[in-house]
Amino acid sequence: MTILVTGGAGFIGSNFVLDWVEQVGEPVVNLDALTYAGNRANLAALAGDARHTFVHGDICDRALVDRLLAEHRPRAIVHFAAESHVDRSISGPAEFMRTNVTGTFTLLEGARAHWGGLQGAEREAFRFHHVSTDEVYGSLAPDAPAFTEDHPYEPNSPYSASKAASDHLVRAWHHTYGLPVVTTNCSNNYGPFHFPEKLIPLMIVNALAGKPLPIYGDGQNVRDWLYVRDHCSGIRAVLAGGRLGETYNIGGWNEKTNLEIVHTVCDLLDELKPDAAGSYRRLITYVKDRPGHDRRYAIDARKVERELGWRPAETFDTGIRKTVRWYLDHTDWVQQVQSGAYRDWVSQQYGAERRA
Ligand code: NAD
Ligand code: TYD
């Protein structure tokens, strides 16, 4: 029994691979192109572990996908690989279309050919699990009910549009070809190995470096935050028991404004690593808003609880404390990811022209 994971050197994928080996113990083949967001150091704990096979390659490479499926005969594909950062999708959408749309299409075609050749129990058991986002549903008014699985798709950014397209492809491959798929749409994750271009890790690493904490617009945009290992357990639950062709929303029941998040990070750092210059809140800086910035996301995760008994294990208090501690304990990891490419992105994104 083996599974094929795509994008398993990224933030959520690497947490998933580590969690899978710990909790399930089955071998994992991990296909990742190692873009700026992929990092083999995330998987250092599995060095020398025969249950983890890393393959450096692109999900758009059909011949490679076919070869891996034929060689390893995985019982499932868990598809994380994507371009995932909204701001990058605004400044350069092409790569999002290639990986998120064409890459998902390529995997689906590889999976369809492979599954078509399976028989009996192996064919019955096969699953294609597509990992997606709540951003496909668009933006909620302040008092609107949280997104259910029936909410219309209204993606607003190039990132969310590319993920919405991939969700539609997965749906169609089930409807037309009978491919055994499940899709999960999850809210914002946070936790270890989160690349410091995203809100929470960026605030932690900037604060520790005494740099400004850039808040877009008025800081009142709302996200529903989920600790990454809870997302991993949600994926395991849906992979094991989700109904074929269904989508399941996964979320943390934890809506916070960006300003609340940044205040919490500053307060934890004030407690765990006080700075002689005063509270880290002094570094908060309002900058120009993201174009098309979605105001609010919130997930109604009752379906996955009702059908599969999944709920998050962490509260925001426990999860964010673990996360801040992890960054304090892994300054070597932070230094390693802050490569030249990362520095170029930060100066392009937060350069003088972006100050509010
Ligand atoms: P990430 O950007 O940290 O990691 C993406 C990984 O995919 C990297 O390791 C990268 O090298 C790899 N990759 C990119 N293009 C590839 C290609 N063409 N071929 C093979 N590998 C490629 O992303 P993440 O935050 O871990 O997100 C993983 C998945 O979860 C994505 O599909 C994303 O849409 C979804 N998601 C993320 C969040 C979140 O809060 N981060 C929330 C919900 C859903
Ligand atoms: P992000 O982590 O990029 O996730 P997403 O856009 O996928 O939700 O951003 C989370 C929120 O934080 C979003 O409302 C944008 C905001 N944000 C800032 O205010 N400043 C920043 O420097 C970043 C990266 C994000």
For domain 3-190+226-253+293-314, the CATH architecture is: 3-Layer(aba) Sandwich (3.40)
- Please identify which residue in the block is written with the tokens 């597509």: 130
Per the structure block, which two tokens stand in for 230?
């809870």
Residue type, 111: A
**Residue 353: predicted pLDDT:** 52
**Residue 344: predicted pLDDT:** 80
The answer to whether 134 is a known catalytic residue is yes
The CA 163 to ligand 1 mean position distance, Å, reads 11
**Residue 346: predicted pLDDT:** 76
C-alpha separations of 70 from 12, 66, 111, 145, 233 in Å: 26, 6, 10, 45, 28
Q: How many CB atoms lie within 10 A of CB 253?
A: 19
Report if pTM > 0.75.
yes
- Classify strands 255-257 and 222-227 as parallel, antiparallel or unpaired: antiparallel
The CA 241 to ligand 1 mean position distance, Å, reads 24
How is the chain split into domains, by residue range? 3-190+226-253+293-314
Burial, 326: exposed, middle or buried (Cβ in 10 Å; 0-12, 13-18, 19+)? middle
The answer to whether 137 is a known catalytic residue is no
CA within 13 Å, CB half, 251: 24
Nearest CA to ligand 1 atom 28: 80
Nearest CA to ligand 2 atom 21: 199
Asked if 168 and 175 touch (Cβ cutoff 8 Å), the reply is: no
Closest to 162 measured CA to CA, from 71, 234, 85, 73 = 85
Low-confidence ranges of the chain (pLDDT < 70): 352-356
**Residue 349: predicted pLDDT:** 85
Per the structure block, which two tokens stand in for 163?
């993920």
**Residue 245: predicted pLDDT:** 98
**Residue 44: predicted pLDDT:** 95
The residues with which 255 forms a beta bridge, in sequence order, are: 224
Per the structure block, which two tokens stand in for 120?
């009996």
Asked if 1 and 8 touch (Cβ cutoff 8 Å), the reply is: no
Closest to 207 measured CA to CA, from 257, 260, 269 = 269
The CA 100 to ligand 1 mean position distance, Å, reads 9
258 within ligand 2 shell (Cβ under 6 A): yes
Instruction: Please provide the DSSP assignment of 136-201 as one string.
Output: GG----TTSPPB-TTSPP---SHHHHHHHHHHHHHHHHHHHH---EEEEEE-EEESTT--TTSHHH
**Residue 354: predicted pLDDT:** 57
Q: How far apart are CA 157 and CA 318, in angstroms?
A: 31
170 within ligand 1 shell (Cβ under 6 A): no
Gap between the terminal Cα atoms of the chain: 53
Per the structure block, which two tokens stand in for 10?
């990224």
Asked if 157 and 222 touch (Cβ cutoff 8 Å), the reply is: no
Kindly report the length of the chain: 356
